[in-house]
């Protein structure tokens, strides 16, 4: 993907949870309660707390335009709590009014310089306004003071990416996941970064984990499709894109790279170059599952010590996996070859002068032991090399696929020269 990653920014809420989720789950009792709060606020116009409770309820329902007006009513009073301004900033930010949100957070931070929530909100406003260096300074300060906050650590990663600190951004996203492994946005942000680096397999593992936590996120489903397309799994990517638009019909409209990939898949489908449905092979399945397991276990790698030691351990693990792959693919051919060799030794000792018949027995052994696809019959030579001695010779090659694009040839050679004894009929004198 060539465009900048669409990282998620995590704006914390005093009420907890996602405003969108709360709005979707709002039921009639909440509407009745909201009407009661509005009546109470109008009945006590001199008390800012009523307006604040009303504004918070509106914010929880995702009704941010109305929430902004209620927050402003609460802030008209000198007795209003300074935290009200931070809540106003959150609703303004949700509405995309980033200049006004920045002013609200900035004023809240001036009143309370230690308010980390206001600093986070101000940093996110600055990021949206294209001022990542200022945001980075704020986020570094609050993450240094509270290392366990996954949302702030993830936001730090976004700011680091925007300022060109891509390696530090990856570390921040991974630390966010270790702090809160059940936050799908943290997994998604790491996946977007890895996909931007060209690491499609690990990126897909991140998106799959995010969807395991929350399978309803259409954008993440489309991200998974992008990663699968980049990895060359076009049929699986097509399935992901179709699932994404089922969850949210308009989700592909704002994703030019996704639209281009999907169009390329449609052309392949029209030409008959894709199967009717995704049919990943055993090797592809094993590799994708290995990426998934590695992503889930990454947060435990701290026990391995320094990043250098972790890298060495991961390298050793990859070498072990490669050794396993080599063993699985290559060893059966060597076993079959040496079984064939032993069988030809046995046949060469048969007490007969009929080399033609013996050659047919050798070819039958080649077929029986699974070497027929590799051995050309015309290469098999069976001749008597001397008195009571027989020689069998031929060579063959086997192509094996160790990794996609890596298909070396294994060369084997049979050279058997064995004595044999044919009992002669006695000569009568």
Least confident of 85-89, 93-97, 282-286, 360-364: 282-286
Residue pair 304/310 in contact (Cβ under 8 Å)? The answer is yes
What is the rounded distance in angstroms from the CA atom of residue 201 to the CA atom of residue 206?
9
- Sorting pLDDT into bands at 50, 70 and 90, what band is 30? low
Q: Dihedral angle at the C-alpha atoms of 104, 105, 110, 113, nearest 10 degrees?
A: 160
Nearest to 418 by CA among 381, 379, 387, 391: 391
- Which CATH entry fits the domain spanning 181-304: 3.40.50.150, 2.40.128.20, 3.40.50.300, 1.25.40.10? 1.25.40.10
> Where is average pLDDT lowest: 70-74, 201-205, 311-315?
311-315
Under DSSP, is residue 383 helix (H, G, I), strand (E, B) or coil? strand
Instruction: Tell me if 203 sits within 8 A of 210, measured CB to CB.
Output: no
pTM check: above 0.85: no
- The fold of 1-163 is 1.25.40
pLDDT over threshold 60, residue 292 = no
Output the pLDDT for position 29: 34
Length of the chain in terms of residues written: 429
- Band (pLDDT 50/70/90 cuts) for residue 276 is low
Examine domains 1-163 and 181-304 and report if their fold is the same. Answer: yes
Record the tokens describing residue 152, joined without a space. 């702030």
169-180 tens-digit pLDDT: 999 999 999 999
Q: Domain extents for the chain?
A: 1-163, 181-304, 329-419
pLDDT tens-digit series, residues 93-151:
999 999 999 999 999 999 889 899 999 999 999 999 999 999 999 999 999 987 779 99
CA distances in angstroms from 23 to 28, 70, 327, listed in the order given: 12, 17, 55
* Helix, strand, coil content of the chain in percent (nearest 5): 65, 5, 30
Residue 336 has pLDDT above 60, yes or no: yes
Q: Is 305 a residue whose pLDDT tops 70? A: no
In this structure, the strands spanning 409-419 and 389-399 are antiparallel
Give the span between the Cα atoms of 402 and 404, in whole angstroms: 7
> Is pLDDT of 35 > 80?
no
Q: What is the rounded distance in angstroms from the CA atom of residue 274 to the CA atom of residue 228?
A: 14
Per the listing, tokens 């799908």 go with: 184
How far is 134 from 137, CA to CA, in rounded Å?
Answer: 5
- In this structure, of 22-31, 265-274, 326-335, 382-391, the range with the lowest mean pLDDT score is 22-31
Average pLDDT over residues 317-322: 73
CA 246 – CA 372 distance, rounded (Å)? 50
């Amino acid at each position: 993907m060539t465009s900048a990653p669409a990282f998620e920014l995590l704006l914390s809420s005093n009420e907890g949870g996602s405003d969108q989720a709360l709005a979707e789950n709002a039921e009639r009792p909440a509407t009745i309660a909201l009407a009661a709060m509005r009546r109470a606020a109008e009945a006590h116009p001199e008390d800012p707390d009523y307006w604040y409770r009303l504004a918070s309820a509106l914010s929880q329902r995702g009704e941010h335009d109305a929430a902004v007006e209620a927050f402003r009513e609460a802030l008209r009073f000198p007795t209003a709590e300074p935290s009200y301004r931070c809540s106003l900033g959150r609703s303004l930010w949700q509405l995309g009014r980033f200049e006004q949100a920045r002013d609200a957070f900035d004023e809240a931070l001036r009143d309370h310089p230690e308010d980390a929530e206001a600093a986070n909100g101000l940093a996110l406003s600055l990021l949206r306004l294209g001022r990542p260096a200022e945001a980075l300074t704020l986020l570094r300060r609050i993450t240094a003071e509270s290392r366990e906050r996954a949302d702030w650590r993830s936001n730090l990663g976004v700011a680091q990416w925007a300022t060109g600190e891509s390696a530090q951004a990856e570390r921040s996203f991974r630390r966010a996941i270790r702090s809160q492994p059940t936050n799908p946005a943290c997994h998604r942000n790491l996946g977007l970064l890895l996909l931007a680096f060209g690491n499609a397999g690990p990126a897909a593992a991140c998106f799959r984990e995010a969807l395991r936590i929350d399978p309803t996120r259409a954008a993440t489903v489309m991200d998974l499709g992008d990663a699968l397309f980049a990895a060359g799994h076009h049929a699986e990517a097509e399935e992901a894109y179709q699932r994404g638009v089922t969850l949210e019909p308009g989700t592909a409209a704002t994703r030019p790279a996704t639209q281009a990939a999907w169009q390329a898949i449609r052309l392949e489908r029209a030409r008959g170059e894709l199967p009717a449905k995704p049919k990943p092979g055993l090797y592809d399945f094993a590799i994708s599952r290995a990426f998934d397991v590695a992503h889930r276990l990454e947060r435990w790698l701290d026990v391995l010590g320094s990043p250098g030691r972790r890298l060495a351990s991961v390298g050793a693990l990859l070498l072990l996996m490669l050794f396993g792959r080599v063993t699985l693919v290559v060893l059966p051919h060597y076993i079959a070859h040496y079984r064939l060799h032993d069988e030809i030794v046995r046949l060469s000792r048969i007490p007969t002068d009929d080399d033609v018949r013996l050659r047919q027995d050798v070819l039958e052994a080649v077929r029986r032991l699974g070497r027929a696809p590799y051995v050309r019959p015309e290469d098999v030579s069976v001749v008597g090399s001397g008195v009571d001695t027989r020689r069998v010779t031929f060579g063959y090659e086997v192509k094996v696929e160790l990794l996609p694009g890596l298909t070396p040839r294994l060369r084997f050679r049979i050279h058997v020269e064995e004595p044999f004894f044919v009992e002669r009929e006695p000569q009568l004198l």
